């Protein structure tokens, strides 16, 4: 029997307008100096914007700092460490910022000669104004949820999966929370929670979600 949610899932989206801060860094010392004092929305932009802007590239460094260290400064080791910062585990941007700063500071303590970015490839700190608004998609059953997943924009996936943890400070995400609370889909909710969302392209992630939902359909029979 098809289970129907009392509260429908409303798909929202977050769209951003990029603001320029005028802050720029040519080397790692300058990068960390700015990073310590910029607003947290700047940290959010550089750790989350990459996913949506470079959604076709995978596997890719999940943040701009890792990308710049690796591809502009050619600091492969540091770039790898920055890429490995597990963005998904942080429930507050302040802690994420501290972690990134610590990784860079540890590198600076080695006293290596700092490499300078070629002209034109400096790191530009950017901020974002976020606009959050509901889309026309909503779901009350698993089938409707799956159908909506096919059609929503990638910013909607990012909003409900990547950003919910930071928004509400919990360990779950909007999809898992609703699936468990409203449809009793505990196993599916857990499977979505376990996804390392940052290692997929946006389209890859959409497909993975659809696969998980479809597997649940098959497992439980036609709902």
Partner 1 sequence: MTIALEAYASFVGAGTIDELRLLGRRLRGRTVQNVNSTAVGGGVAEILNRLLPLLRELGIDARWDVIRGGDEFFAVTKKLHNALHGQPLPITPHDVDIFQQTTEENLHTLDISDDLVFIHDPQPVQLVAAAKPRSRWIWRCHIDLSAPDPQAWEFLRPWVERYHAAVFSAPQFARKLPIDQVLIAPSIDPLADKNRDLDPATVEAVVTGLGIDPERPLVTQVSRFDRLKDPLGVIEAYRLVRRYNDCQLLLVGGSATDDPEGAQVLAECRDRAAGDPDVHIVELPPTANLEINALQRASTVILQKSLREGFGLTVAEALWKAKPVVAGAVGGIPLQITHKYSGILTHTVEGAAYWIKQLLNAPDFARRLGENGREHVRWNFLLTRHLRDYLLLFLSLDHPGESLISLPD
Pick from 4, 29, 132, 168: which binds partner 1 (CB under 8 A)?
132
Q: How far is the CB of 142 from partner 1 (least distance, A)?
A: 20
Core vs surface per residue 22-49: b (16+ CB within 10 A) or e:
ebebbbbebbbeebeebeeebbbbbbbb
Q: How far is the CB of 92 from partner 1 (least distance, A)?
A: 15
Pick from 3, 36, 56, 190: which binds partner 1 (CB under 8 A)?
56
* CA pair distance 32, 104, nearest whole angstrom: 7
Q: Which stretch binds partner 1 (CB under 8 A): 75-83, 97-105, 133-141, 181-189?
A: 133-141
Residues with Cβ within 8 Å of 108's Cβ and at least 6 positions away in sequence, in order, are: 28, 29, 32, 114
Q: How far is the CB of 95 from partner 1 (least distance, A)?
A: 19
Asked whether position 59 contacts partner 1 by CB under 8 A, the answer is no
Per-residue x/- track, 174-203, partner 1 (CB under 8 A): ------------------------------
Task: Report 137-156 residues binding partner 1 (CB under 8 A).
Answer: 151-156
* Site of tokens 């963005």: 87
Residues with Cβ within 8 Å of 151's Cβ and at least 6 positions away in sequence, in order, are: 137
Task: Report 90-129 residues binding partner 1 (CB under 8 A).
Answer: 118-122, 124, 126-129
Helix ranges (H only) for the chain are 28-37, 40-53, 64-67, 76-83, 93-109, 142-151, 154-161, 163-168, 174-183, 186-194, 202-220
Pick from 2, 29, 39, 168: which binds partner 1 (CB under 8 A)?
39
Count of residues touching partner 1 (by CB under 8 A): 45
Strand partners, 134: 12
User: Which residues contact partner 1 by CB under 8 A?
Assistant: 13, 15-22, 24, 39, 41, 52-57, 60, 67, 71-72, 118-122, 124, 126-136, 151-156
């Amino acid at each position: 029997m098809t289970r129907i949610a009392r509260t429908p899932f409303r798909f929202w989206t977050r769209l951003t307008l990029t603001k320029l801060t005028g802050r720029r860094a040519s080397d790692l010392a300058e990068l960390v100096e700015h990073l310590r004092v910029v607003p947290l929305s700047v940290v959010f932009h550089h750790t989350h914007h990459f996913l949506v802007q470079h959604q076709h590239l995978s596997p890719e460094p999940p943040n701009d700092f890792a990308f710049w260290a690796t591809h502009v400064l050619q600091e492969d080791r540091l770039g790898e460490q920055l890429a490995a910062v597990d963005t998904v585990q942080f429930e507050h941007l302040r802690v994420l910022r501290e972690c990134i700063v610590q990784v860079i500071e540890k590198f600076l303590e080695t006293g290596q000669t700092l490499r300078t970015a070629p002209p034109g490839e400096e790191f530009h700190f950017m901020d974002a104004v976020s606009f959050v608004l509901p889309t026309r998609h909503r779901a009350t059953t698993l089938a409707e949820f799956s159908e909506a997943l096919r059609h929503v924009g990638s910013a909607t996936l990012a909003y409900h999966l990547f950003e919910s943890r930071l928004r509400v400070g919990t360990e779950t995400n909007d999809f898992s929370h609703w699936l468990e609370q409203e449809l009793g889909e505990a196993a599916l909710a857990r499977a979505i929670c376990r996804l390392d969302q940052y290692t997929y392209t946006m389209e890859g992630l959409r497909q993975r979600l659809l696969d998980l939902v479809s597997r649940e359909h098959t497992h439980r029979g036609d709902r």
